[in-house]
Amino acid sequence: MTSGHRTLTAFLAVICSLVLAILGLSLDWPPWLWCVAGTGLLAVVLLALGTSPRPYGYIPPENTLEPDVPQAPPRQEQRVRDVALPSALPDYDFLFSATIRWVPEEADPPPYFDPGALAMQGVVLRARAFAARQDPRSSSLAQHQLSGVLGVMEPDPSCRVIAMAKDVRLTLSETDQRRLSALSDVRKDEEVWEHERNYERSKRTYLTDDVLKDPGSAVVWWLARNGEQVEHTVERIGLLARLSAAANNSEVVEPFRDLAYPYPPPPRETFADEAPAEPSQARSAESLAEDLMSWLGLDREDPTMRLLADRFADYLRAAGKKEEADDFAEFFRLPEEEPSDDPPEDVTP
């Protein structure tokens, strides 16, 4: 009997004695009735002490042992490490590790099968079915979910053992993890580049089809952005008309041509396939000589001009432009002078 049980029995006995004493005094019991009540109370106390529960760890005598009851087989554990499981992406396998715990369904399993092997097979099959649906880029999340899936005892396919797994780890190899990280970075960069390209394409479409559709649209666009600079906008009408024509691969329309080209356009350059080579070079040298004389204010027969022409021809020969130098010097040579292959003497003006 435990101390708590003895205390409770004594407490109840005292209460019952008090109750009987109160009843006997109030009813004026005869002596024999007091003896009967006391005897009954003592018998109840002894009976309570005799039927007290056995304490924890009590071992009955050998002759009072209860018959043997079949005990459940103990749980057993085994660790598996780095089992390759396929993922949702081809060629990217998870590495599965866990502690597998199992209990045989039979109390005394026959020796012709291995309960541990059946338990590992069942758990690995459950893990494989789950991992095949998971993205390897979220291996941490998949590991926590797999811990919940395998944390319940379930029978193996042969229904001979029930098994579960704890300490589950689901990871990727370092090489695959680096590959996925590199692919993720490239994919992010490509997405940013695609957005930038779409933005640039949209901006070009806006400028071509709306802003620079014609000179009037270009002027209105410029005036909307620079509303306080009306006079400055008027001065830029010609430039905006040229921009509109260039954006549409066309010529400046007639109403804006005078504003676009306030000065006569420069002479059109003549290419080699449009005229013979020698007249074209002569006209080029002649045009250069005339521009030089106009800029310096000198005549063709002026000695200073002829001296400058000779020095310029020397510079061209030194630069490897012998034909151009001869064409340029020929323009300033007088008719009575004969051409000479020797360069002129160095004369300092």
Residue 7 host element (H or E): helix 3-27
Closest residue by Cα to residue 101 from 157, 164, 187, 160:
164
How far are the Cα atoms of 69, 98, 101 from residue 161, in angstroms, in the given order? 21, 18, 10
- List the end-to-end C-alpha distance of the chain, in Å, as a whole number: 140
pTM assigned to the model = 0.45
* DSSP assigned state of 113: S
Rounded CA gap, 25 and 58, in Å? 45
Q: DSSP for 50-69, please give it.
A: HTPPPPTT----GGGPPPP-
pLDDT values of the chain reduced to their tens digit, one per residue, 349 residues: 566 667 777 777 777 777 777 777 777 777 777 777 777 777 776 776 665 555 544 555 554 444 555 555 667 889 999 999 999 999 999 999 999 999 987 766 667 778 889 999 999 999 999 999 999 999 999 999 999 999 999 998 888 899 999 999 999 999 999 999 999 999 999 999 999 999 999 988 888 888 888 888 888 888 888 878 788 778 778 888 888 888 888 888 777 777 777 655 555 555 555 544 444 444 466 777 777 777 666 676 777 777 777 777 777 778 777 877 777 777 766 555 555 555 444 444 3
> 76-176, what's its fold?
Tetrahydropterin Synthase; Chain A (3.30.479)
> Which backbone phi and psi does 167 adopt, to 5 degrees?
55, 50
| Tokens 């002829």, located at residue | 306
Look up residue 338 and give its amino acid. E
Closest residue by Cα to residue 312 from 328, 300, 291:
328
Residue 74 CB burial class (10 angstroms; 0-12, 13-18, ≥19):
exposed
Rounded CA gap, 19 and 23, in Å? 6
> Which backbone phi and psi does 258 adopt, to 5 degrees?
-65, -35
Partners of 84 in the β-ladder: 95
Taken in order 139, 140, 143, 144, is the CA torsion positive or negative? negative
Look up residue 303 and give its amino acid. P
